[in-house]
């Protein structure tokens, strides 16, 4: 799954002004996304209403009916003017049309932005939840694989190969349409009420967690195996049990080695979370499909969506870069390989 | 009553026999030095004592207790070990290397563990490097941290597995200095080493191990000056010439 990935760690190395530019774009993007989320949040709406400002938050607005905060008219007008000018220019009109396209696209993006923000927000928490839960499974899985006895080693191997060896979409369909998982979750009562997402979202998190845990386990296994075996021997020689030695000596080093691979998986999960669209989760890619089929502007829709995914991915790469240097230890880890 | 007693210890790796019936005793405050050519089973013998390697035959007693009847973690708390390539925990500072055993094995509260760790680092002359990571220390400093880490557990016996073999010649002295101090203070030490100067000056007993058997064992003066076996004379003669 990582073969087509390039190392996404370059953003943090950018010098001075370019770095400021990247950070500014990031801050604007995340501010917009968070405000969009807050503006339509049911819980915040209830709080605001209780505080006596009932119109501050508009949680009742359906996703596709949400109003943009920027006017589309100036951009649409500019595009129209350019096109009109182009119509009189004969063959040169093509150039005017090209020049008009960015304005058209901007107007389109502003219009579709609120719905896409709602989707992007789901993409974010889908990815975060699945990464964290996946990690919680991947760590024991990889430890079992490297340090376990025959049986646990093979159970871990079987799990990993089964999950990695079958298509993610098939796994999601099995979970959503095959098993009664969605009904069970729906039966919990509070699911789908207020700010709690619908059952499909939970099924998607389960699916991505399972899938991601297998890939994360492979990255961590590799990292654990690169920890010098003398480290565990030394831990055991002062009286630590094998489990304590793994926990206090091997894992702190191995997990540091695993960060670049883990970043790769994180970035990948952001994008393959788009498969949740096929089990009705209204995340970014599904919003895009709805907008594209409503507007028939397929190219424009997917260009805007690509930019949004790119913003999510670059932010993640930047954050993981920060994490890597925050936990760096002299002489340890890929940043200081000798 | 002896602190450590080995009886007829045998060990093989697959079909290769490494130890053929090794037996000896050492008392508290003894400094026992084992020498022998490489591949003679010296390191294996040490690792059998704290059960990093399990023996195939014979028995080992610590304080008259069969070590194979003991919990291995309890055993290792009582028997420290210093390694040839230090094996310091790479992600922890010098003081962090010493405190890990104190907090996780001896269950000391972290403040107390830190104080005790500093005390032992000071004892090996490294109080000022307490916050350095292993990668920032010289080989000699790393090995002194390794000794402090082992010493802080207050063991009854420390095993030294060629503690100076991975060091540059100019760094050997500082480690041997610490080991000499320990010997003077009455620490019980079982050392595998090629440092003949240390063996002659600090050892109470010298053992010459060859091909998994004890060829000769006795006071160092006797082995150096008047060995019973030609093989001992040959080996020690060669080594003394080199050093």
Reported as a single tens digit per residue, the pLDDT across B65-91 is 999 999 999 999 999 999 999 999 999
**Residue A26 to residues A31, A266, A305, A319, B66, Cα–Cα distance (Å):** 8, 18, 16, 11, 65
Answer yes or no: do A329 and B52 touch at CB < 8 A.
no
> Measured between beta carbons, which residues in chain A are less than 8 angstroms from residue B149?
238
Q: How far is B142 from chain A (nearest CA, A)?
A: 13
* Among candidates A237, A248, A331 on the partner chain, residue whose Cβ is nearest the Cβ of B90: A331
Answer yes or no: do B135 and A331 touch at CB < 8 A.
yes
In this structure, are residues B183 and B202 in contact, taking their beta carbons and an 8 Å threshold? yes
> Measured between beta carbons, which residues in chain A are less than 8 angstroms from residue B133?
329-332
Instruction: Provide the pLDDT for residue B77.
Output: 94
CA distance B108 to B153: 11
CATH level 3 topology of A115-336: MetI-like fold (1.10.3720)
Instruction: Provide the pLDDT for residue A336.
Output: 47
Answer yes or no: do B89 and A249 touch at CB < 8 A.
yes
- Give the residue from chain B lying closest to A246, CA to CA: B89
Instruction: Provide the pLDDT for residue A85.
Output: 85
> Measured between beta carbons, which residues in chain B are less than 8 angstroms from residue A242?
none
**Residue A72 to residues A69, A99, A110, B180, Cα–Cα distance (Å):** 9, 17, 6, 83
> Measured between beta carbons, which residues in chain A are less than 8 angstroms from residue B101?
238-240
**CB crowding B22-38: b at 16 or more within 10 Å, else e:** bebebeeebbbbbbbee
Q: What is the mean pLDDT of residues B21-45?
A: 92
* Among candidates A236, A256, A330 on the partner chain, residue whose Cβ is nearest the Cβ of B76: A236
**Who has greater pLDDT, A191 or B51?**
B51
DSSP 8-state class, residue B128: G
CA distance A263 to B39: 45
Instruction: Provide the pLDDT for residue A5.
Output: 42
* Among candidates A230, A329, A336 on the partner chain, residue whose Cβ is nearest the Cβ of B83: A230
| pLDDT range class, residue B237, cuts 50, 70, 90 | confident
Nearest in space to B126 (alpha carbons), one of B90, B164, B98, B105: B98
Instruction: Provide the pLDDT for residue A84.
Output: 86
- Give the residue from chain A lying closest to B73, CA to CA: A239
> Measured between beta carbons, which residues in chain A are less than 8 angstroms from residue B74?
239
Instruction: Provide the pLDDT for residue A95.
Output: 84
CA distance A337 to A74: 53
Q: How far is A328 from chain B (nearest CA, A)?
A: 9
CA distance A267 to A6: 10
Examine the pLDDT at B240 and tell me if it is beyond 90.
no
* Among candidates A230, A329, A331 on the partner chain, residue whose Cβ is nearest the Cβ of B87: A230
Nearest in space to A76 (alpha carbons), one of A32, A109, A52: A109
Instruction: Provide the pLDDT for residue A10.
Output: 54
Examine the pLDDT at B100 and tell me if it is beyond 90.
yes
* Among candidates B88, B91, B101 on the partner chain, residue whose Cβ is nearest the Cβ of A239: B101
Instruction: Provide the pLDDT for residue B142.
Output: 95
Nearest in space to B148 (alpha carbons), one of B99, B104, B196: B99
Instruction: Provide the pLDDT for residue A2.
Output: 41
Interface contact B114, partner A, CB < 8 A: no
CA distance B89 to B54: 24
Reported as a single tens digit per residue, the pLDDT across B178-235 is 999 999 999 999 999 989 899 999 999 999 999 999 999 999 999 988 888 989 998 8
B4-89+159-242 domain in CATH 3.40.50.300?
yes
Answer yes or no: do B101 and A330 touch at CB < 8 A.
no
pLDDT tens for chain A, residues 1 to 338 = 444 444 444 555 666 778 788 888 889 999 999 999 989 888 888 888 888 888 888 888 888 888 888 888 899 999 888 888 888 887 878 888 888 899 999 999 998 899 999 999 999 999 999 999 999 999 999 999 999 999 999 999 999 999 999 999 999 999 999 888 887 887 777 777 766 778 889 999 999 999 999 999 999 999 999 999 999 999 999 999 999 999 999 999 999 999 999 999 999 999 999 999 999 888 999 999 999 999 999 999 999 999 999 999 999 998 998 899 899 888 886 544 43
Spans of all domains in chain A: 115-336
């Amino acid at each position: 799954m990582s073969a087509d990935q390039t190392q996404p760690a370059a953003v943090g190395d950018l010098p001075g002004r370019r770095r400021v530019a990247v950070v500014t774009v990031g801050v604007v993007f995340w501010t917009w996304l968070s405000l969009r989320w807050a503006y339509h949040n049911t819980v915040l709406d209830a709080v605001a209403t209780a505080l006596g400002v009932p119109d501050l938050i508009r949680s009742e607005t359906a996703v596709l009916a949400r109003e943009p905060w920027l006017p589309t008219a100036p951009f649409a007008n500019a595009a129209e003017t350019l096109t009109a000018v182009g119509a009189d220019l004969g063959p040169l009109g093509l150039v005017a049309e090209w020049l008009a396209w960015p304005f058209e696209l901007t107007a389109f993006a502003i219009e579709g932005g609120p719905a896409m923000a709602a989707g992007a927000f789901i993409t974010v928490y889908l990815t975060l939840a699945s990464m964290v839960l996946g990690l919680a499974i991947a760590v024991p899985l990889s430890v079992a694989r490297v340090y376990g006895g025959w049986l646990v080693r093979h159970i871990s191997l079987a799990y990993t190969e089964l999950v990695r060896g079958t298509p993610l979409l098939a796994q999601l369909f099995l979970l959503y349409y095959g098993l009664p998982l969605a009904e069970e979750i729906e039966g919990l009562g509070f699911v789908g009420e207020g700010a709690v997402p619908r059952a499909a979202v939970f099924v998607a998190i389960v699916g991505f967690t399972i899938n991601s845990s297998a890939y994360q386990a492979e990255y961590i296994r590799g990292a654990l195996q690169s920890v010098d075996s003398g480290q565990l021997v030394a831990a055991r020689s002062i009286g630590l049990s094998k489990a304590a030695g793994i926990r206090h000596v091997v894992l702190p080093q191995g997990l540091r080695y695993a960060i670049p691979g883990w970043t790769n998986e994180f970035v990948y999960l952001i994008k393959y979370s788009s498969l949740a669209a096929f089990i009705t989760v209204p995340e970014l890619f599904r919003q895009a499909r709805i907008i594209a089929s409503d507007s028939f502007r397929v190219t424009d829709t997917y260009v805007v969506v690509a930019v949004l995914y790119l913003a999510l991915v670059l932010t993640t790469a930047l954050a993981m870069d920060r994490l890597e240097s925050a936990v760096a230890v002299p002489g340890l880890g890929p940043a200081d390989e000798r | 009553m002896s602190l450590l007693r080995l009886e007829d210890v045998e060990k093989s790796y697959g079909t290769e026999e490494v130890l053929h019936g090794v037996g000896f005793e050492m008392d508290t405050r003894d400094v026992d030095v084992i020498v022998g050519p490489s591949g003679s089973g010296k390191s294996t013998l040490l690792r059998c004592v704290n059960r990093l390697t399990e023996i195939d035959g014979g028995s080992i007693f610590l304080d008259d207790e069969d070590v194979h009847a003991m919990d291995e973690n309890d055993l290792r708390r009582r028997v420290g070990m210093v390694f040839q390539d230090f094996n310091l925990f790479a992600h922890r500072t010098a003081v962090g290397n010493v405190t890990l055993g104190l907090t996780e094995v001896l269950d000391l509260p972290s403040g107390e563990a830190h104080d005790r760790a500093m005390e032992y680092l000071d004892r090996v002359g490294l109080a000022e490097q307490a916050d350095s990571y292993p990668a920032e220390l010289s080989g000699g400093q790393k090995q002194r941290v390794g000794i402090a880490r082992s010493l802080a557990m207050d063991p009854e016996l420390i095993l030294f597995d060629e503690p100076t073999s991975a060091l540059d010649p100019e760094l050997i002295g500082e480690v041997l200095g610490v080991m000499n101090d320990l010997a003077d203070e009455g620490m019980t030490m079982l050392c595998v080493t090629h440092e003949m100067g240390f063996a002659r000056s600090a050892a109470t007993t010298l053992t010459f191990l060859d091909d998994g058997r004890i060829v000769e064992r006795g006071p160092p003066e006797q082995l150096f000056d008047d060995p019973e076996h030609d093989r001992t004379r040959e080996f020690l003669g060669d080594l003394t010439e080199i050093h």
